[in-house]
Every structure is written in C-alpha cells, then in structure tokens.
Amino acid sequence: MKTCVIFTGSGPILIVTTYASLTDPRFVDKMVSKGIMKFIGYELPSVLVQEKYGAHFTAVMNDVKQTDDLRVLDYNGHNVFYNFSFDQMGNPIYYE
C-alpha cells in the first residue's frame, strides 16, 4: 500500500493505492479514467498519513464501496498541501 500526494491541474489530492508504482499503466489508466491526464506524484510514509488522518483514514480504508486499488483519502487541496511538508514527501514522479 502506498500513500501519495498527487498534484493535478485542479490541486493536490491524497490517495491510497495498492499499485506498485505511480507509473504502473493500470494506475495511469485509472487516473485518466478520472480525468487526470497529467500529474506530479509524491509518496508519503503511510504511518505519517495514518497519524494525521486517524479515524478518517480507517473509515476510508474500510469503505466497501471503494475499490482496493485506489482510494481518495482527501480531495481538499488546501488541507492536503498544508498537512505535509516537502521534506516528508519522496522524490517526484512526473506523468504526462
């Protein structure tokens, strides 16, 4: 499981995914199907995300309506952007 900040044209979102890489063709296809054709992604330590989001993280992970391969944890760009420092993010992954 990976937790990642994805910077899109409309702002950052926080996701949890089971894909091995943000460049996995199946991940990219999933993003494209959601209208995201270009992005910059950064992995975050899952423990850090769980600490910051607490019960909300658990609720999203236990939501049977969502698929296991990609779950959106937070789509409030302001919240996502200011919850994590750049030092906490991994190396950028670019896709276009």
Centroid of chain to Cα 77: 11
Phi and psi of 34, rounded to 5°? Answer: -95, 10
Q: What is the pLDDT of residues 77-95, one digit of tens each?
A: 999 999 999 999 989 999 9
Identity of residue 3: T
Torsion of CA 14, 7, 1, 23, to 10 degrees: 160
Cα 90 from Cα 95, distance rounded (Å)? 15
Give the start-to-end residue ranges of the domains of the chain: 2-95
Query: Residue 42 pairs with which residues in a beta bridge?
Result: 5
Q: 74: which 2 tokens?
A: 């937070």
pLDDT band at 34 (very low <50, low <70, confident <90, very high): confident
Lowest mean pLDDT among 31-35, 54-58, 71-75: 54-58
